């Protein structure tokens, strides 16, 4: 994979690491980043060597301060700028990645930044992280899945409050509401995230993919359908391991 304008992609053994790399703009999400992410996500999806991927932000101040406002304020006008974004469904692609994804969050995690983190399977935050969905202040709707992914994680009440008020919450409140899995000291954020990734990468990758599929797809199914999905995945795993499944 070649170099990217807005991202760094590194692979260490079985662990991939994507760094949003526009620190001068607090890693704001622009059209180029959308294109770069599309390339990286496809490469990750098709690379069986990669067992888990970390997503982090470059610089001291932010994981990502949301959509790039300079693209909103210049030609093409905001509506066209948004339409261009919709043309490539990077968020659908994100959610279709079979491997476990971990968001490593520090500083500002706003707008598309939160939405990107919500496309990941786990979120580890440093104690300086701040979360918010400022779209309402700009007169737009979050369109990177946030209205759907956030309530699935934190419940309708908290999601509606964040989406309707635009209020920023700190790492402690994010943890209390289930938005992030862990809050750790900033100095240890990357080390702890890497350890978590190593642990996940040490397990059978097929099991990890099945766990992800069972939960991710199951959440949108009825309990009966979800149990059926779980059973099918369990049988599939046993078959691929050459075992029979009479005991299940
Ligand atoms: N798009 C484009 N550039 C952005 C940006 C964004 N979303 N967020 C920050 N930047 C740029 C700033 O313009 C500034 O650039 P400059 O140094 O050339 O002036 C640089 O990043 C640093 O940001 P700054 O505002 O100076 O940092 P701060 O610590 O004072 O404030 C924020 C940080 C996040 C509170 C503030 O930058 C902000 O409100 N950003 C916009 C958040 C937003 O509305 N995102 C859109 C969501 S849809």
> Which residues are known to be catalytic?
115, 135
- Provide DSSP, the chain: ----SSEEEEEETTEEEEEE--GGGTT-B-HHHHHHHHHHHHHHHT-TT--EEEEEESSSSEEEESB-HHHHHSSSPHHHHHHHHHHS-HHHHHHT--S-EEEEE-BEEETHHHHHHHTSSEEEEETT-EEE-THHHHT----SSHHHHHHHHH-HHHHHHHHHH---EEHHHHHHTTS-SEEE-GGGHHHHHHHHHHHHHTS-HHHHHHHHHHHHHHTTS-HHHHHHHHHHHHHHHHHHTT---TT-
- Is residue 245 one of the residues assigned to a domain? no
Q: How confident is the model over 186-197, as pLDDT tens digits?
A: 999 999 999 999
Give residue-wise pLDDT tens across range 65-100: 999 999 875 655 555 555 555 556 899 999 999 999
Tell if the pTM clears 0.75, that is, is over it.
yes
Q: What is the mean pLDDT of residues 240-244?
A: 73
Tell me, yes or no, whether 50 and 126 share the same domain.
yes
125 and 12 in a single domain? The answer is yes
Q: Is residue 247 part of a domain?
A: no
Q: Domain total for the chain?
A: 2
Do 79 and 182 reside in the same domain of the chain?
yes
Query: Are 219 and 178 in a shared domain?
Result: no
Residue 110 lies in a domain: yes
Residues 159 and 87 in one domain: yes
Ligand 1 test: best mutation among 26, 132, 139, most atoms within 8 Å of CB?
A: 26
Which domain, by its residues, includes 53? Answer: 7-201
Q: Which residues line ligand 1 (CB under 6 A)?
A: 25-26, 28, 65-70, 108, 110-111, 134-135, 138
pLDDT digits (tens, 9 = 90+) for 175-184: 999 999 999 9
The pLDDT tens digits for 127-171 are: 999 999 999 999 999 989 999 999 999 999 999 999 999 999 999
Same domain, 53 and 81: yes
Residues 119 and 56 in one domain: yes
CATH number (domain holding residue 69): 3.90.226.10
Please tell me the distance between residue 28's alpha carbon and the centre of ligand 1 in angstroms. 8
Is 2 among the domain residues? no
**219: in domain:** yes
Asked whether residue 131 falls in the same domain as residue 70, the answer is yes
Predicted confidence at residue 2, as pLDDT, reads 74
- Do 133 and 16 lie in a common domain? yes
Residue 48 covered by a domain: yes
pLDDT digits (tens, 9 = 90+) for 29-47: 999 999 999 999 999 999 9
- 46 and 156 inside one domain: yes
Q: Maximum CA pair distance of the chain? A: 63
Q: Which residue lies with its CA nearest to atom 17 of ligand 1? A: 24
> Does 185 map to a domain?
yes
Clarify whether residues 195 and 212 are in a common domain: no
The total number of residues shown for the chain amounts to: 248
Within-domain flag for 65: yes
Q: Tell me, yes or no, whether 151 and 232 share the same domain.
A: no
pLDDT at 242: 78
Residue with the two structure tokens 């999400």 = 29
The pLDDT tens digits of the residues spanning 116-127 come to: 999 999 999 999
């Amino acid at each position: 994979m070649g170099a990217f304008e807005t991202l760094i992609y590194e692979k260490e053994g079985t662990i991939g690491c994507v760094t949003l790399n526009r620190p001068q703009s607090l890693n704001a999400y622009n059209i180029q980043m959308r294109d770069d992410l599309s390339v990286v996500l496809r490469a990750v999806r098709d690379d069986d060597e990669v067992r888990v991927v970390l997503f982090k932000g470059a610089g001291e101040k932010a994981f990502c301060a949301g959509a790039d406002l300079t693209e909103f304020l210049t030609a093409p006008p905001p509506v066209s700028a948004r339409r261009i974004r919709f043309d490539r469904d990077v968020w659908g692609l994100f959610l279709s990645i079979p491997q476990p994804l971990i968001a490593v969050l520090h500083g500002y995690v706003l707008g598309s930044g939160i939405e990107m983190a919500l496309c990941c399977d786990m979120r580890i935050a440093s104690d300086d992280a701040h979360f918010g969905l400022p779209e309402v202040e700009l007169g737009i709707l979050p369109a990177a899945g946030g209205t759907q992914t956030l309530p699935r994680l934190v419940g309708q009440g908290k999601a509606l409050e964040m989406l309707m008020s635009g209020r920023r919450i700190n790492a402690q409140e994010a943890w209390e509401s289930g938005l992030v899995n862990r809050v750790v000291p900033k100095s240890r954020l990357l080390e702890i995230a890497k350890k978590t990734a190593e642990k996940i990468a040490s397990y059978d990758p097929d099991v990890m993919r099945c766990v992800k599929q069972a939960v991710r797809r199951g959440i949108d199914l009825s309990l009966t359908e979800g149990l059926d999905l779980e059973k099918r995945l369990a049988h599939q795993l046993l078959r691929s391991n050459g075992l029979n499944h009479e005991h299940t």
